[in-house]
Structure 1
Amino acid sequence: MIWQGHRLKRYARFVEVRTFPEALKAIMEQQGWTQVELARELGVSQAWVSEVSRGQKDTGMARAIGLLARVGWEVRISPKMEESVERREFLAAAASVVFVPSTRANPYQDADYVHTLAASLARNRYELGGIPLVSSALGHARRIEQVLHDTVRDKALQTAASQLADQVTLVLYDAGSLVQADRVGGLALELARRAGDHESQARAYDTLSRVSLDRGDHARGVTYAQRGLQMTDITNGQRASLSMRLGRSLAFIPGQETASRDILDHALNVGGLSPFGEAALVGDVAIGLGHLHAYGEAGTLLSEAAEAIGQWSPLFRAQYLGRQVQTAMRASDLSLAADRMHKLARALPFVTSGRVNKRVGEILKASQTNAAPEIRQAREHLRAMISPAPPPST
C-alpha cells in the first residue's frame, strides 16, 4: 500500500514508508511539525496522533485516506507481483510509499506534478472505489479551478489540469455525486478547449456522456458522445469508448434500437486497445446490449469482462459482476444469478463505491420476492457484506 505525499517544504526527494504510523512520522519530519501541530492540521487530538504513531491505535482505510488528504498525501495501492492476484492477496502484497515533490511554490502550477496527481487518482479509483477519494478529489478541483484564471496560459498545464479534473469527475461519479461530477466535468472540458488538446476534449466529452447517462439524460449523453467523435487525432481507445457511450445512450431512446446495436458492434471492432481498455470496453458494451434485451450476449461478454478486468480494477470487476447478476435475473437464469451474487458479495469488502452500492440495492430489491433457494442464500450472503457507510448525497 502506498501512502503518497505531495507537499514538500524542506527538501525534494523520494521517501518510502509502508504503514500509516510511518506516514505520520514522515509528514512531521518533512514539515517540521510537532504532534500537536500535526493533530491541528488533521483535525484530531494530539493523543490520537501519539497512539497511532506508536502503533497502539488502528484506523480504517477510508479515514486514513481522508486524513492524509488534508496534508497533501494520497494513498495508492500497488502490488509488487506482476501476475494477476485476487483482491485479498492484492491488498496484502508488499508495497511502498512514493513522495512526489514539486519544485514550484504552488505545485498545482507544475504540469508534471498535476499529471502525476491525475494518474494517482485514477489508480486509486480503480482499486478502492470513489467514496474514499471524494475529499481529496474535491480539494484538487478547488486548486485546479485557479488554472482557468492563470495569466501565463500554459498549454501543458491546462492539459494536465483537464486530465486531473476529468479524474475528479470520475471519482464523484463513482461516489454518486452526479451534480458535482457534471460541474467538474465541465471544468475539464473548458480546460481542454483552452489548451487546444483534442484528446483531452474527447476524454471530457466521454466522461460527461457517462455522467449524463447515469443521470437519465440520454439525449445529452448522445450529444456529448457525438461531439467527442467529431474530434480529430484521437486514439482508437477514445473512439471506441465514445462509440460505446453513443450506443448505450441511444439504447434508451425509442426508435434508436437498431442504430444503438450497430454502433455497439462497431465499438467492439475498433481494435488497437490496451488489454485493460479492451476488457473495460467489452464490459461496457455488454451493459448496452443488456439494455437492448440481448441478455445472452450481454451475459457472455460481462463474464469475460469481469474475469479479465479484476487484475487491474477490483472496482470494475464488482460493477460487471453486479450487471451480470441483473442480466441473469432478467433472463431467468437463476443458477447463474446466484453464482454471481456470491462472487459479488466476496468482492464488496474491497471497494467503496456509490455505484456498486446502488447496484447491490437494486439486486436485493429485485430478488426479495424470489423463492428459489439458491437466490435466497445468495441474497443473504450479499446483504451480509453490504458496507454500513452510505454513499454521499448528490
Structure 2
Amino acid sequence: MDVRSLPVALTAIMKQRGWTQQQLGRELGVSQAWISRVCNGVADTGLARAKELLARVGWEVRFTPSVEEPVERREFLSAAASVVFVASAADSDPYLDPDYVRALSDSLARGRYELGGLPLAARALGHVKRVAHLQIGSAGHELRGAASDLMYQAGIALYDAGRLAQSEHAGTIALDLAHQAEDAPARAQAYDALSRVSLYRGDPLRAVRHAQRGLRIPDLPPSRLSSLHMRLGRALACVNGSQREAREALDRALGTSGLSPFAEAALGGDVAIGLSRLGHYDQADRLLREAAAAMAQWSPLFRAQYLGRQVQTAVRADEPALAVHHMHSLTRALPFVGSARVNARVTAIITVTAKWDRIPEVRTARENLRATLPAGSSSA
C-alpha cells in the first residue's frame, strides 16, 4: 500500500491494525493529542522524525519523482520528490522486493544527475555485488526487470566515475536480466549503456554493434529509440568513412517526437557531441548552449558536461574568444559535481588550449580551470 502524506499514513496504519489514536500514540511514543493534530493537518513533523516514527511500526519513507515520464520515468528527475510511505518487508532480503530495487535505481539516478558518479561509485559497486550474487531463483519478471534497471543505473554511475571495466560488467548483468525478464525497453537500455562505455574506451566499432543490436528490438519507446540512434551516430562519427551514416543517425535522433523537456534537452546536447566531431560546429554549439541552459534547472552534472563540450567545440572551430567564454562558465559549474569524465575533459581542455596561451584571456581562463580540478588530477 502506497500513501502520499503522513496524515494518510497514520490513518492507514490505524485502520490496518485496528488501533485507536491512543494505541498508535503508544506504539510511536507520542501523545494521542499529537496524533490527532497530525491527522487533522494542524501539526507537522520533519522528514527525519517521520521516518524514525514510522519505522517503529514497520513502515518506511521512499521518494519517487512526482512527474512521470510518458515512457521512461527515471529519465525525468526535475520535479520535486513526493514522499511515499509504504509498509516495509523487514523479514526478507530487500533486494527481492521489486519496489525497493526500483527505489535504489531512482536514488542512484537522482544522485548522479545532481552530484556526478564519483560520490556514488562505492554504493554502485555494492549494488552490483549484491545483484550479481542474488539468488533470484523463481522470481518473476518484475524483479528481474527492476534488477536490470538497477544494474543500468549502477553501470552509468560507474561510467561517470571512470570505472569502465566495472561499468561494462554492470551493463552485461543488466542485459542478461532484461533478457530473462523479457523486457524489451530494458534490453535496449542495456545496449545503450554498453555502447557508450565501448565508445569511451576507444572501441567505436563495438559501440556501433551494441547500438545496432538495440535498434533491432521492436516497439521501443521514443526516448530509447532516439538515444540508440544518437549512440549509433556518435560511434559512427569516430569510424573513418562513416560520416554520412553518422549524420543520418544523428538526424534520426533529433527527429524523434514525444520526448519530455528533459529528455529532449539531453538528446540535443548528446547529438551535438557527434555533430562537433563531424565538423558541424555552429549547429553543435547551438544545441550545446540550449542543453546547458536547460540543465541548469535539472542536472549540475549534465550542465558541466555540455559546457565542457562547448569549449571543445570552440577549440575545434579555432575560436579562442568563444572558448574563453565557455571556459569561464565551466569553471563556475565544476565545484558542484564529482565526475571523473568531467575532470578528464577539463584536463584535456587545459592541454589543448595551451596553443593559445599567449592570449591573456585564454591564459587566465586556463589558470582558473586548473584551480578547480580536485587534488590528484593531472593537467598541463
Provide the rounded CA distance (Å) in 2 between the counterparts of 1:97 and 1:136.
22
SS class of match (1:17): helix
Q: Is 1:279 matched up with 2:280?
A: no
2:339 aligned partner, one-letter code: S
Provide the rounded CA distance (Å) in 2 between the counterparts of 1:158 and 1:95.
25
1:156 aligned partner, one-letter code: E
Provide the rounded CA distance (Å) in 1 between the counterparts of 2:256 and 2:82.
38
Partner of 2:122: 135
User: Residues 312, 357 of structure 1: CA spacing in aligned structure 2 closer, same or farther, 3 A cutoff?
Assistant: same
Provide the rounded CA distance (Å) in 1 between the counterparts of 2:108 and 2:376.
21
Within 5 Å, give how 1:98-113 maps onto structure 2. Answer: 102-103=88-89, 104-113=91-100
Provide the rounded CA distance (Å) in 1 between the counterparts of 2:84 and 2:366.
41
Q: Is 1:16 matched up with 2:47?
A: yes
Provide the rounded CA distance (Å) in 1 between the counterparts of 2:83 and 2:334.
25
Within 5 Å, give how 1:90-169 maps onto structure 2. Answer: 102-103=88-89, 104-147=91-134, 149-169=135-155
Greater RCO (Cα-Cα under 8 Å, separation 6 or more): 1
Partner of 2:5: none
| Kept after mapping to 2: 8 A contact 1:16/1:98 | no
Pairing partner for 2:223 from 237, 240, 251: 237
| Kept after mapping to 2: 8 A contact 1:240/1:281 | yes
Pairing partner for 2:189 from 162, 181, 203: 203
2:170 aligned partner, one-letter code: V
1:204 aligned partner, one-letter code: A
Aligned Cα root-mean-square deviation (Å): 3.0
Residues 232-259 of structure 1, C-alpha deviation per residue, up to 9 Å, x if partnerless? Answer: 2211010000000001101111111001
Shift of 1:102: 3.3
| Kept after mapping to 2: 8 A contact 1:158/1:195 | yes
Shift of 1:97: 9.0
Residues 332-369 of structure 1, C-alpha deviation per residue, up to 9 Å, x if partnerless? Answer: 21111111101111111100000000000000111123
Residues 105-153 of structure 1, C-alpha deviation per residue, up to 9 Å, x if partnerless? Answer: 2100000110111011101100000000011111111111234x42223
Provide the rounded CA distance (Å) in 1 between the counterparts of 2:101 and 2:154.
12
Partner of 1:270: 256
Pairing partner for 1:178 from 161, 164, 175: 164
Within 5 Å, give how 1:240-259 maps onto structure 2. Answer: 240-259=226-245
Q: Is 1:351 matched up with 2:337?
A: yes
User: Residues 96, 282 of structure 1: CA spacing in aligned structure 2 closer, same or farther, 3 A cutoff?
Assistant: closer
| Kept after mapping to 2: 8 A contact 1:319/1:356 | yes
How many residue pairs match? The answer is 318
Residues 308-337 of structure 1, C-alpha deviation per residue, up to 9 Å, x if partnerless? Answer: 122111100000000000110111211111
Provide the rounded CA distance (Å) in 2 between the counterparts of 1:208 and 1:95.
29
SS class of match (1:369): helix
Pairing partner for 1:326 from 312, 331, 344: 312
SS class of match (1:368): helix
Partner of 1:361: 347
Identity %: 51
Provide the rounded CA distance (Å) in 1 between the counterparts of 2:289 and 2:225.
24
Bigger shift: 182-191 or 330-339? 330-339
User: Residues 96, 269 of structure 1: CA spacing in aligned structure 2 closer, same or farther, 3 A cutoff?
Assistant: closer
Provide the rounded CA distance (Å) in 1 between the counterparts of 2:149 and 2:88.
18
| Kept after mapping to 2: 8 A contact 1:15/1:97 | no
Pairing partner for 1:213 from 199, 204, 207: 199
User: Residues 284, 95 of structure 1: CA spacing in aligned structure 2 closer, same or farther, 3 A cutoff?
Assistant: closer
Provide the rounded CA distance (Å) in 2 between the counterparts of 1:95 and 1:236.
25
User: Residues 333, 96 of structure 1: CA spacing in aligned structure 2 closer, same or farther, 3 A cutoff?
Assistant: same
Tell me the TM-score normalised to structure 2 length. 0.77
* Larger-gyration structure (1/2): 2
Residues 283-321 of structure 1, C-alpha deviation per residue, up to 9 Å, x if partnerless? Answer: 010000111111121111111111112211110000000
User: Residues 257, 184 of structure 1: CA spacing in aligned structure 2 closer, same or farther, 3 A cutoff?
Assistant: same
Q: Is 1:188 matched up with 2:219?
A: no
Partner of 1:55: none
Partner of 1:261: 247
Gaps of 5+ in 1: 1-10, 32-72, 79-93
1:108 aligned partner, one-letter code: Y
Shift of 1:99: 8.3
Provide the rounded CA distance (Å) in 2 between the counterparts of 1:390 and 1:366.
16
Residues 16-43 of structure 1, C-alpha deviation per residue, up to 9 Å, x if partnerless? Answer: 239xxx99xx69x969xxxxxxxxxxxx
| Kept after mapping to 2: 8 A contact 1:236/1:271 | yes
